[in-house]
């Protein structure tokens, strides 16, 4: 899928620049009320339509919406300035006049109806007033049928030589964006990495266009110079004599603690008059980075503030990106921008999470290569109801330590990170919401967690009826001289309160015991999944607890044994598996039992 972007409050275009570096994104419209910023955008994005105007003006808004529909916009991005996101602003909430631009963003999303939107803002949008604002924002967009997620991200984690924390809200029609799956940059960059090759101007020196004087010494500098024939915007502020005198008293990489008390000024913050540190990331670049008294934005050793080009480097703009306007305007454009590398990281994660997943469909089965914690929100949104949930989630019992098995030393069984870091309980309450009123909820678990899972079930409108035992007739011996052979697995069977549950006791037996005697999987049935369940066992459970044509769900499908059992017994099946390899195993097994078609998830 490709994304055609409308960039609201675009400024110079940092957000668009990061996304447009990826093949599937193209910004087709940008809008801002700042003429110089939009000029910068247009000259750096010559193929993008730009609309200059106040978004609160009805005519401007109408023009934006009409143009967005004409150009088939399916993604909206932007960072509406909102000063009301604070504890003091809670009284008026989103109706606070200082938050009116957020509402304009919301109204345009509502009118354009994109597949996805990404909103950037100050982190207090999420943290202020005990989450009041973000809860209201989430509610508004969920009413528009979006699946909404949000987080505070630090640009330093994504290859930007700056610690800049910003809030991001992402809404999608068809999938949940999981911020925890964003990949951190393998390399962390410092101020030295970013600007040491530009360290030769004194106060008042430099010009709009110049030649490079020093060689690039870091990979970051080499990347920044890529396709840049000349250096632009490298102009040092012309400081007053008083300012230059103060800066001369401050040693390299130090701050105003070296100034005499009478020269420190009335600024409350400790970082004012501070120099950047060469081997550390920069603090947040704001719109007044050219003023030493503003904060920690003075050059590490030269007696001047950083230049616009140095600030742009720290913001991760490439050198070929040229800023236009007067000094104040250029500083505002740079200081207000979303760092392009940060935007690119978000864009890459959207591709990885939304585009690389698979959906397998057949006449009786649907398999999702997805995270069960994310997919449940989509299923709830689509109002899916399943008749039964039968699943074998990760047990969180992986062991890397050594122990003895019979006569030979053997390492503990490590099933993978998916088992080791799994949240054992909180998924239960969410999946209970899509279970039919008469459905069964059967969960395999380790003996260690039986009581905890029962407690979680019973706190979520479920009543536990029994604990089922799988007695393994051929258990794997391990450490036999020091402990019992582990030959039993357990499954907890619960139903909803007041349910008329299914229980198909065979007619040829007087009663059923909770134990099922079946061997561990071996031979042709065995796959590469480390905790594969016996098909005979799962068919027996499906046969007893469900009816033909009913819909069975397994949120942690693994190798797909529950699905195979369901289809062979004329039931329908929905399976979810986060691991790509195991999803492929399950898909292959399902294909042997039913006709199929395979399509993209989004």
E-strand stretches of 354-461:
358-362, 365-368, 388-391, 402-405, 408-411, 440-445
Contact yes or no for 152/128 (Cβ under 8 A): no
To the nearest whole number, what is the mean pLDDT of the chain?
A: 91
Q: Is 567 left (phi over 0), alpha (psi -120 to 50) or beta?
A: alpha
* DSSP character string of 295-327: SS-B-SSSSSBPPHHHHHHHTT--TT----S-H
SS3 107: helix
**Each residue of 413-428: b (16+ CB within 10 Å) or e?**
eebeebbeebebbebb
**Each residue of 256-278: b (16+ CB within 10 Å) or e?**
beebeeeebeeeeeeebbbbbbb
Q: Pseudo-torsion of CA 54, 57, 58, 64, nearest 10°?
A: 0
pLDDT at 97 over 60: yes
Report residue 77: phi and psi, to 5°.
-125, 160
Reported confidence tier of residue 412, pLDDT bands at 50, 70, 90: very low
Reported confidence tier of residue 421, pLDDT bands at 50, 70, 90: low
CB count in 10 Å sphere of residue 200: 12
Q: What's the pLDDT at 554?
A: 98
Q: What's the pLDDT at 404?
A: 36
Q: How much is the average pLDDT of 389-411?
A: 57
* pLDDT tens-place string over residues 447-485: 999 999 999 999 999 999 999 999 999 888 877 888 888
Give the residue numbers marked as catalytic.
82
Reported confidence tier of residue 93, pLDDT bands at 50, 70, 90: low
If one looks up domain 191-338 in CATH, what number appears? 3.90.120.10
Which CATH architecture is the domain 358-600 placed in? 3-Layer(aba) Sandwich (3.40)
CB count in 10 Å sphere of residue 572: 22
Q: Which helix (H) or strand (E) holds 346?
A: helix 340-350
Reported confidence tier of residue 383, pLDDT bands at 50, 70, 90: very high
SS3 140: helix
Q: Return the CATH number of 3-188+341-351, one of 3.30.1370.160, 3.40.50.300, 3.40.50.150, 3.40.50.720.
A: 3.40.50.150
Whole-number percent of the chain with pLDDT over 70: 91
**pTM of this prediction?**
0.85
* pLDDT tens-place string over residues 283-315: 999 999 999 999 999 999 999 999 999 999 999
DSSP 282: B
* pLDDT tens-place string over residues 27-36: 999 999 999 9
Reported confidence tier of residue 533, pLDDT bands at 50, 70, 90: very high
Which range, of 188-202, 349-363, 417-431, 518-532, averages the lowest pLDDT?
A: 417-431
Domains 3-188+341-351 and 191-338 share a fold: no
SS3 366: strand
Domain ranges of the chain: 3-188+341-351, 191-338, 358-600
pLDDT at 353 over 60: yes
d(CA 250, CA 591): 72
d(CA 293, CA 346): 34
d(CA 527, CA 534): 11
Q: How much is the average pLDDT of 393-420?
A: 47
pLDDT at 277 over 80: yes
Q: What's the pLDDT at 162?
A: 98
Nearest to 6 by CA among 34, 29, 26: 29
Whole-number percent of the chain with pLDDT over 90: 78
Nearest to 196 by CA among 178, 179, 220: 220
Q: What's the pLDDT at 478?
A: 75
Q: How much is the average pLDDT of 20-33?
A: 97
Nearest to 393 by CA among 457, 332, 477: 457
Q: What's the pLDDT at 358?
A: 83
Q: How much is the average pLDDT of 581-596?
A: 85
């Amino acid at each position: 899928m490709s994304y055609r972007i409308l960039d609201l409050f675009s400024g110079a275009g940092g957000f668009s620049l990061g996304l447009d570096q990826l093949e599937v994104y193209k910004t087709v419209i940008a809008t801002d009320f700042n003429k110089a910023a939009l000029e910068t955008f247009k000259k750096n994005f010559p193929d993008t339509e730009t609309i200059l105007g106040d978004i609160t003006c009805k005519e401007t808004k109408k023009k934006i919406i009409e143009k967005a529909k004409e150009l088939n916009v399916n993604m909206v991005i932007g960072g509406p300035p909102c000063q009301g996101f604070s504890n003091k602003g809670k009284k008026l909430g989103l109706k606070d006049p200082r938050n009116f631009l957020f509402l304009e963003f919301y109204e345009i999303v509502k009118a354009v109806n994109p597949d996805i939107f990404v909103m950037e803002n100050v982190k207090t949008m999420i943290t202020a007033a005990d989450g009041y604002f973000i809860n209201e924002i989430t509610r508004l967009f969920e009413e528009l049928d979006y699946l909404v997620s949000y987080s505070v991200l630090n640009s330093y984690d994504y290859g930007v030589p700056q610690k800049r924390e910003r809030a991001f809200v992402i809404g999608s029609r068809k999938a949940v964006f999981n911020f925890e799956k964003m990949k951190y940059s393998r390399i962390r960059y410092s101020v030295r990495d970013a600007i040491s090759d530009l360290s030769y101007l004194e106060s008042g020196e430099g010009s709009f266009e110049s030649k490079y004087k020093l060689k690039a010494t870091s990979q970051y500098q080499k990347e920044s110079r890529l396709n840049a024939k000349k250096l632009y915007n490298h102009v040092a502020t012309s400081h007053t004599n008083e300012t230059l005198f103060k800066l001369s008293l401050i040693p390299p990489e130090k701050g105003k603690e070296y100034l005499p008390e009478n020269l420190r000024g009335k600024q409350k913050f400790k970082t004012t008059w501070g120099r950047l540190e060469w081997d550390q990331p920069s603090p947040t670049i704001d719109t007044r980075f050219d003023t030493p008294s503003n904060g920690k934005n003075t050059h590490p050793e030269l007696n001047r503030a950083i230049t616009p080009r140095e600030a742009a480097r720290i913001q991760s703009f490439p050198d070929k990106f040229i800023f236009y306007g007067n000094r104040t305007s250029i500083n505002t454009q740079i200081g207000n921008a979303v760092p392009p590398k940060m935007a690119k990281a978000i864009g890459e994660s959207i591709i990885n999470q939304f585009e690389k997943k698979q959906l397998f469909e057949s006449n009786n089965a649907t398999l999702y290569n997805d995270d069960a914690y994310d997919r449940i929100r989509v299923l709830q949104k689509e109002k899916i109801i399943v008749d039964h949930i039968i699943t074998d989630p990760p047990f969180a019992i992986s062991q890397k330590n050594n122990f003895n098995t019979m006569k030979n030393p053997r390492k503990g069984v490590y099933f993978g990170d998916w088992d080791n870091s799994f949240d054992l309980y909180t998924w239960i309450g969410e999946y209970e919401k899509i279970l039919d009123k008469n459905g069964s909820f059967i969960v395999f678990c380790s003996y260690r967690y039986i009581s905890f899972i029962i407690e979680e079930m019973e706190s979520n409108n479920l009543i536990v009826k029994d604990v089922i035992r799988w007695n393994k007739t051929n258990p794997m011996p391990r450490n036999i001289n020091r402990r019992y052979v582990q030959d039993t697995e357990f499954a907890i069977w619960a139903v909803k309160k007041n349910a008329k549950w299914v229980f198909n006791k065979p007619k040829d037996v007087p009663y059923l015991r909770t134990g099922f005697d079946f061997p561990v999987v071996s031979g042709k049935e065995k796959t590469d999944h480390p905790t594969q369940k016996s098909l005979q066992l799962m068919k027996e459970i499906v046969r007893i607890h469900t009816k033909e044509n009913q819909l069975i769900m397994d949120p942690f499908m693994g190798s797909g044994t529950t699905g195979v059992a369901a289809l062979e017994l004329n039931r329908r099946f929905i399976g979810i598996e986060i691991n790509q390899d195991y999803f492929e195993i399950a898909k292959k097994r399902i294909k042997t039992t039913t006709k199929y078609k395979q399509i993209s998830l989004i």
